[in-house]
Structure 1
């Protein structure tokens, strides 16, 4: 996108992907006593981001 920095696009893409993963974790239906967890982890060099989403 013109005028948008690479960093800003990566932040937006990360937010979009994380939102989709979370929606997929809760979409099948909420069951009492079950939840989902998000665990983000950034690389020490700032060049990597790992996002784990799990349902329990």
Structure 2
């Protein structure tokens, strides 16, 4: 299903109205598919939760 997946964290960005300051991205290099999510802080818990949501979205889009 996936080949190699890259994960990037873009920070710090100007704070949004929802207090997000970071963007976590996941890229499937085989298809060049990129999904991202804005997050408020870059703690392990927030990053893991965000990545799980991104991966579930990527898998759902492929089905």
- Give the TM-score category using the shorter length: 0.3 to 0.5
Structure whose CA Rg is larger: 1
TM-score normalised according to structure 1 size: 0.36
Which structure features the higher share of helix residues?
A: 1
Which structure features the higher share of strand residues?
A: 2
TM-score normalised according to structure 2 size: 0.32
